[in-house]
């Protein structure tokens, strides 16, 4: 079944306009639970309650406010908010083209596939192939849902994909992370770490090899409960805590290999076990005595 476009829009740069359709690129399939009344199993409803007097508020009685200081608000009517909105034309204006290497993946908020709309096929393909050839991606503004979204447009599998981005003030700086500790590593530690990376390396990333085990367990438990069966939970095996980094690296390498190869890779030769003498049978014992 072909994908259904969620909306349409226009990409423009210079005097060029390309009509496009937008498609959802990805959506969460996580296991979700509803809040139920434990007495009868019906879904509970959310209500807005005023802390001033405990009154349950009707939607018509609620207004919107912007907190400019702690517990201090300025209020807006729906008409005032409407006047502040950007246009809802879904117009995507390309502002500049930049190398993909200058783009930080942490800025991606959502992704949408772009497909050519009527009359835009040739220009759509030309833009995709030109960006691919130049090794550039486009940065632009997308007027959507009354707001101006920062977006990045790049060639993707012969077509075009659009990434909705966070603005600079919405992305925290890594400098805020406490990573002040400094360490000196010896050659053996580097060697073990690099060997572990080599051992776990693949030629390419294949997302099909990964699955949501939690969601699978939830669905299996749901099927058991629907069938009237008791859900049996297997206890999670405790993980051994390894404090020493060098020992952790050696154990990781050893677990990744089997037999002598694994022990040698971990830097610990596997001891050779001497063969024990075979136990004599009753017949052999008798012969020994009579002999």
Instruction: Give strand pairing partners of 8.
Output: 21
127 and 11 together in one domain: yes
What local confidence, expressed as pLDDT, does residue 286 receive?
45
144 and 115 together in one domain: yes
What local confidence, expressed as pLDDT, does residue 169 receive?
92
**Residue percentage of the chain with pLDDT more than 70:** 83
238 pLDDT tier (thresholds 50, 70, 90): low
pLDDT digits (tens, 9 = 90+) for 148-186: 999 999 999 999 999 999 999 999 988 888 776 778 888
11 and 138 together in one domain: yes
pLDDT digits (tens, 9 = 90+) for 275-284: 444 444 444 4
What local confidence, expressed as pLDDT, does residue 243 receive?
58
23 and 129 together in one domain: yes
63 and 135 together in one domain: no
Its pTM stands at 0.70
Is there a domain that residue 279 lies in? no
92 and 71 together in one domain: no
12 and 94 together in one domain: yes
Is there a domain that residue 21 lies in? yes
Number of domains in the chain: 3
What local confidence, expressed as pLDDT, does residue 33 receive?
92
Is there a domain that residue 24 lies in? yes
97 pLDDT tier (thresholds 50, 70, 90): very high
Whether 239 shows a pLDDT value over 80: the answer reads: no
288 pLDDT tier (thresholds 50, 70, 90): very low
142 and 78 together in one domain: no
Among residues 56, 49, 74, the alpha carbon closest in space to that of 64 is found at 74
131 and 66 together in one domain: no
Whether 187 shows a pLDDT value over 70: the answer reads: yes
Containing domain of residue 191, as a range? 183-196+247-267
Instruction: Find the CATH number of the domain harbouring 156.
Output: 2.40.290.10
**Residue percentage of the chain with pLDDT more than 90:** 45
Are 172 and 118 spatial neighbours (Cβ–Cβ below 8 Å)?
Answer: no
Is there a domain that residue 251 lies in? yes
The whole-angstrom separation of Cα 124 and Cα 119 is 9
**Count of CB atoms within 10 A of residue 92's CB?**
24
**Roughly what angle, to the nearest 10 degrees, separates helices 245-256 and 187-199?**
30
**If you average pLDDT over every residue of the chain, what do you get?**
83
**How confident is the model over 93-118, as a mean pLDDT?**
94
What local confidence, expressed as pLDDT, does residue 170 receive?
93
78 and 90 together in one domain: no
**Count of CB atoms within 10 A of residue 160's CB?**
23
In the structure encoding, which two tokens stand for residue 124, read together?
A: 């759509």
| Ramachandran angles phi, psi of 16, nearest 5° | -95, 135
Q: Locate tokens 């783009």: which residue?
A: 103
What local confidence, expressed as pLDDT, does residue 268 receive?
44
270 pLDDT tier (thresholds 50, 70, 90): very low
Non-local (6+) Cβ contacts of 243 within 8 A are none
254 and 137 together in one domain: no
69 and 128 together in one domain: no
Is there a domain that residue 2 lies in? no
Is there a domain that residue 114 lies in? yes
Is there a domain that residue 216 lies in? no
**How confident is the model over 259-281, as a mean pLDDT?**
44
Q: Of the given ranges (60-69, 127-136, 213-222), which has the lowest mean pLDDT?
A: 213-222
What local confidence, expressed as pLDDT, does residue 272 receive?
40
Q: Write the DSSP symbol of residue 167.
A: -
Whether 86 shows a pLDDT value over 70: the answer reads: yes
| Ramachandran angles phi, psi of 118, nearest 5° | -55, 130
Q: Locate tokens 């072909």: which residue?
A: 2
Helix (H) or strand (E) holding 79: helix 78-84
Is there a domain that residue 79 lies in? yes
């Amino acid at each position: 079944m072909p994908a259904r476009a969620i909306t349409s829009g226009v990409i423009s740069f210079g005097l060029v306009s390309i009509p496009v359709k937008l498609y959802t690129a990805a959506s969460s399939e996580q296991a979700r639970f509803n809040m139920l009344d434990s007495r009868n199993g019906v879904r509970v409803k959310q209500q807005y309650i005023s802390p001033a007097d405990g009154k349950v508020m009707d939607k018509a009685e609620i207004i919107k406010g912007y907190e400019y200081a702690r517990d201090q608000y300025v209020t807006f009517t729906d008409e005032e908010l409407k006047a502040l909105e950007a246009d809802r034309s879904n117009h995507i204006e390309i502002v500049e083209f930049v190398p993909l290497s200058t783009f930080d993946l942490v800025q991606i908020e959502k992704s949408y596939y772009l497909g050519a709309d009527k009359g835009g096929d040739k220009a759509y393909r030309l833009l995709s192939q030109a960006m691919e050839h130049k090794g550039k991606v486009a940065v632009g503004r997308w007027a959507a849902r009354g707001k101006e979204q920062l977006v990045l447009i790049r060639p993707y599998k012969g077509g075009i994909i659009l990434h909705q981005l966070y603005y600079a003030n919405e992305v925290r700086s890594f400098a805020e992370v406490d990573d002040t500790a400094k360490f000196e590593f010896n050659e053996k530690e580097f060697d073990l770490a690099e060997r572990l990376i080599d051992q776990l390396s693949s030629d390419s990333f294949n997302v099909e090899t990964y699955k949501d085990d939690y969601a699978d367990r939830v669905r299996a438990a749901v099927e058991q409960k629907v069938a009237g069966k008791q859900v049996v939970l297997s206890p999670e095996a405790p993980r051994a805590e390894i404090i020493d980094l060098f020992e952790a690296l050696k154990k990781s390498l050893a677990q990744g290999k089997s037999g002598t190869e694994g022990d040698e890779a971990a830097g610990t030769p596997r001891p050779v076990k001497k063969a024990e003498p075979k136990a004599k049978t009753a017949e052999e014992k008798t012969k020994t005595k009579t002999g």
